Amino acid sequence: MCLGIPGQIVAVADSEAMLCVVDVSGVRRTVDVVCVAEPGAPLDDLVGAWVLVHVGFAMSRIDEEEAAATLKVLSEIGEAAVEMEALTQGSVELLSTPR
């Protein structure tokens, strides 16, 4: 099954490569945002946006309410743990989060 898990774009990692940092329940990853970026608009406009992330790509934009509801449902059915594990073990570099 292919799932997209909600995350919030928190920073631009590389504008030229169309990469942003997304926070998914405390895990920060660099993901490709080519599918959700507005043509001609700066990537900084995406900071704060909620997106569905799948295998290193932000696939679509969603609102914060939908993100919260989706995370709740995924947690209830146990899928969030599987997707979070995939995020932490995927091929895209895991970014350290300052605490």
pLDDT digits (tens, 9 = 90+) for 3-36: 789 999 999 999 999 999 999 889 999 999 999 9
Looking at the structure, give the CATH architecture of the domain made up of residues 5-89.
Answer: Roll (2.30)
**Matching residue, tokens 């995927």:** 90
Q: What is the pLDDT confidence band of residue 38, given thresholds at 50, 70 and 90?
A: very high
Q: What is the 3-state secondary structure (H, E, C) of 11-43?
A: EEEECCCCEEEEEECCEEEEEECCCCCCCCCCH
What is the model's pLDDT at position 84?
66
What is the model's pLDDT at position 99?
37
What is the model's pLDDT at position 25?
85
Q: For 48, left (φ over 0), alpha (ψ -120 to 50), or beta? A: left
Q: What is the pLDDT of residues 52-98, one digit of tens each?
A: 999 999 999 999 999 999 888 877 877 656 666 776 665 444 444 44
The CA–CA distances, whole Å, from 31 to 8, 75, 76, 77, 87 equal 11, 22, 26, 25, 10
- Burial (Cβ within 10 Å: 0-12, 13-18, ≥19) of residue 40: exposed
Rg (CA), the chain: 13
pLDDT score of 51 more than 90? yes
Q: Kindly state the average pLDDT of the residues 37-66.
A: 95
Domain ranges across the chain: 5-89
